[in-house]
Structure 1
Amino acid sequence: MAHYLDSFPEHHISIHNKTYIYFGGTAYLGLQTDVDFQNIFIENIRKYGTNYGASRKSNIRMAVYDEAETYLSKLVGSEACISMSSGYLAGQLVAHGLNTNNHAFFYAPNTHSALRLSSNKSQSFSTYEDLKEALHLHLKLKTDETPVVFLDAVDFSGSHFPDFEGLKTLPLSELILVVDDSHGIGILGERGGGIYKTIKDLNPKELIVCASLGKGFGVQAGAIFGCKSRISSLENTAFFGGSSPASPANLATLLHSEGIYNIKRKQLKDNTDFFIDNLNLLDKFQYMIGHPAFSFSDEHLNNHLESNGIIVTSFRYPDENSPMMSRIVISASHTETDILRLCEVLNNA
Structure 2
Amino acid sequence: MNFKNDVEALDALRGKYDELKAEISKVIYGQDEIITQVLVSLFSRGHVLLVGVPGLAKTLLVTTISKTLGLKYNRIQFTPDLMPSDIIGTEILDKDRQFKFIQGPLFSNVILADEINRTPPKTQSALLEAMQERAITAAGKRFELEKPFFVLATQNPIEQEGTYPLPEAQLDRFMFSVWLDYPKYEDELTIVKNTTSTLQFDLNAVISREEIIYFQNVIRKIPINDNVLNYAVTLAAKTRPGSEMADPVSDQYLKWGAGPRASQYLVLGAKTYAALHGKYSPDIKDVKAVAPSILRHRIIKNYKAEAENISAEKIIEKLL
Normalised-by-shorter TM-score class: under 0.3
Richer in helix (by share): 2
Q: Which has the higher contact order (CA 8 A, sep 6+)?
A: 1
TM-score by length of 1: 0.26
